[in-house]
Structure 1
Amino acid sequence: MAGQSSGGSSGGGGRRTPLSRDRVLRAAVAFADRSGIDALSMRSLAQELGVVPMALYKHVANKEELLDGMLDAVLAEIGPTAGGAAWKGAVRGRLLSAREVLLRHPWAPQVIGSRSGPTPGALAHLDRVIGLFLAGGLSADLTHHAMHALGSRVWGFTQELLPAGAEAEQQPHQDQQDQQDQQAALLAARYPHIAGIVASRAHDAGSVVGGQGCDDRFEFEFALDLLLDGIERLHAEGWSSQAR
């Protein structure tokens, strides 16, 4: 394609910036942050970098490897655990840090769910969380079940049970608003208890990870603290799955 090089974009003085795997991944993350993960392709990323698509394949074998690398780059942003923190505070801090990272990259939950297996960065994150439990004296047995209980909160988001309210939408057109109002009326008539819960409080759309309507910071922390308090109680009681 005319106007594109195979090695990297020019800085304006005729000298090209070398293309590297790190630069490809950083550009892909920035593109997804701006335009969404569905808009990302090898061709669109090549255009972003000012290179021909084939130049990317020297650094990532295919789209799946690109997505794996993007995910690991994002997970690497999770902050270090505060030194000397007790295990519960350390785990809480790390998961809240993961949540802040995913708020910056709201496409990441979709990519996490699409992977056929854990990436190196995902394994490193899980290993660190497990290590915090074990360092706090929890048994491997209890830690195993705690990780299952935490579920997607380990990554900093939740897969919500309840349907999103109209407040999760971003400035719908009038016809969309009318349709939402009709759906809300049908919901309230058929499922009054669900409707009452959904309407019970406004949600902060700015704190929603991945566009999931009810997953605001308060609700995330509320459930996280319930889980950690329960895990702490079981640890204090010397709980074992063999004694159930």
Structure 2
Amino acid sequence: MVGKLTATAIVERALEIGDTEGLDTVTIRRLATDLGVTPMALYWHFKNKEQLVAGMADHLIAEFAPVPDDDRPWRERMRDLIKGLIGVLRAHPCAKGVLEQVDQTAVPSFLAIWDLALRLARIAGFSVEESCVISKYILQSAISIADAPVHHAASRTPEEAAEIIRRRRLALESLPVDRYPHLVEMAAPMVGGISRETYDTFGVDLVVSGIESLAARR
């Protein structure tokens, strides 16, 4: 069985467990049981959980492979970069936890995306320091958009999600209208009445438009 076991098979099962049961439940012993091997068989590929999480990060980021170089304007390429990251993060509920735990410098696929973000910022005319800041904000923005409460229904039953939305809406609608008029007025969309397409598209527009506006001042 050891000869048939691959690193890819291990990280794919680890992601499945992390997505459905949470990242804390991903252990070498659990994986070995699920894959029908001894823990030692997994240690041939990953010496510890830190290496395993790095492998998980590399695999999930590799699902999004941006074109390293093309002739399109930097704005379009940066938009695709952010949208691609959002897609990867949304496809795996445990992705946020994986990226928060992992040493990102140990993840080749992440390094490729990071390097591309820096390259696009430099093409846009930003300084080295500014490009570093932009690359970090791109990642954080993608994580925030993908992990926003508007998408919490994916991890709960429709009934549970509807009840959460109802309670949150009522909480906002019950606020003193003289002190919080806009929160009361917009309670419904604020807690779940915004479509995923609108939320994602407008969110990416905000990020890219802000970078574009700054670039125009150069």
Change over 3 Å in CA distance of 1:119–1:195 after alignment to 2 = farther
* Structure 1 residue 112: Cα displacement: 1.4
Change over 3 Å in CA distance of 1:97–1:45 after alignment to 2 = same
Whether 1:51 and 2:51 are equivalent positions in the alignment is no
* Structure 1 residue 221: Cα displacement: 2.5
Q: Bigger radius of gyration, 1 or 2?
A: 1
Whether 1:199 and 2:182 are equivalent positions in the alignment is no
Aligned length: 209
Paired with 2:169 and 2:123, the residues of 1 have a C-alpha distance of 48
- Where do 5+ consecutive residues of structure 1 fail to align? 1-6, 9-16, 205-215, 239-244
Asked if the contact 2:54/2:103 (under 8 Å) is kept, the reply is no
AA partner of residue 78 (structure 2): V
Paired with 1:104 and 1:159, the residues of 2 have a C-alpha distance of 11
Structure 2 counterpart of 1:185? 170
Structure 2 counterpart of 1:83? 70
SS at match of 1:147: helix
Paired with 1:31 and 1:152, the residues of 2 have a C-alpha distance of 24
AA partner of residue 13 (structure 2): A
* Structure 1 residue 80: Cα displacement: 2.2
Structure 1 counterpart of 2:12? 26
Q: How does 1:1-244 map to 2 (within 5 A)?
A: 7-8=1-2, 18-81=4-67, 83-115=70-102, 118-121=105-108, 122-154=110-142, 157=145, 160=148, 169-172=156-159, 177=163, 181=166, 184-190=169-175, 192=180, 193-200=182-189, 202-204=193-195, 216-238=196-218
Q: CA RMSD in A?
A: 3.3
SS at match of 2:76: helix
Asked if the contact 1:102/1:156 (under 8 Å) is kept, the reply is no
TM value normalised by structure 1: 0.69
Percent identity among equivalent residues? 26
* Structure 1 residue 129: Cα displacement: 1.2
* Structure 1 residue 51: Cα displacement: 0.3
Paired with 2:35 and 2:127, the residues of 1 have a C-alpha distance of 49
SS at match of 2:158: coil
AA partner of residue 207 (structure 2): L
Please, which moves more after superposition, 69-78 or 36-45? 36-45
Asked if the contact 1:100/1:156 (under 8 Å) is kept, the reply is no
* Structure 1 residue 228: Cα displacement: 1.7
TM value normalised by structure 2: 0.76
